[in-house]
Amino acid sequence: MKNLFYTIISETEDLALLVVDNTGVLFYASLGRSASSLVEVMLKDFKNTQLYRLNSLKSASSKLVSGKEMVSINETLDKYRQIMKDAGAVDKNAISIPIKIIFGTPLQRKVWDFLIQKLPYGTTTTYLDVAKSLNMPTASRAIANCVGANNIALVIPCHRVIAKSGKLNGYRWGVDIKKKILQEELGDGYSTLIK
């Protein structure tokens, strides 16, 4: 069983719960405003995984004997803090965070890979356009469900996918958080792209 370590960070009024391994690879990231609800959802998400054991980073830091491992974890946490703090000023494509996707169906993973590779910082797309790009033009509802099942907030940029009408609709971590992220990323372009 592989040990994973979770911690909650904050650079704004929003919180992020991150799960990393001992080398700093990011396995999970969720957003919210309540630490207890973030932990509750994380435990639910990991409930059926038999391969991983979750440990609080605070209580586990003494068990991480290699200084190099702690440096790697801290680098990942610092990069994620930077994404949260400076969304409007920093090109997130320049901040590489190593990730490992451990959840999801083959279709969900295909959608998430598409978002990572084809949806750069400062852009948006629609569920329909993602469906068309994946040669599934009639599956925009299925694509929306895949986007909504993402477990690595911000790094897999599901917040950049909007409705065909230009409106913000569902977001796993709340439409208000999605709006804030997009306002920071898009700057003045927000009002022309989002209805």
Residues with a catalytic annotation lie at 158
Beta-strand ranges (E) seen in 2-140 are 2-10, 15-20, 26-32, 52-56, 125-126
Residue the block writes with tokens 């998400």: 45
Assess contact for 43 and 100: CB atoms under 8 A. Answer: no
Count Cα atoms within 13 angstroms, Cβ side, for 117: 9
Q: Which of 2, 104, 102 is nearest to 51 (CA)?
A: 2
CA distance 97 to 111: 19
Contacts of 133 (CB under 8 A, 6+ apart): 114, 118
CA distance 160 to 34: 23
Give the SS3 label for residue 22. coil
Assess contact for 57 and 5: CB atoms under 8 A. Answer: yes
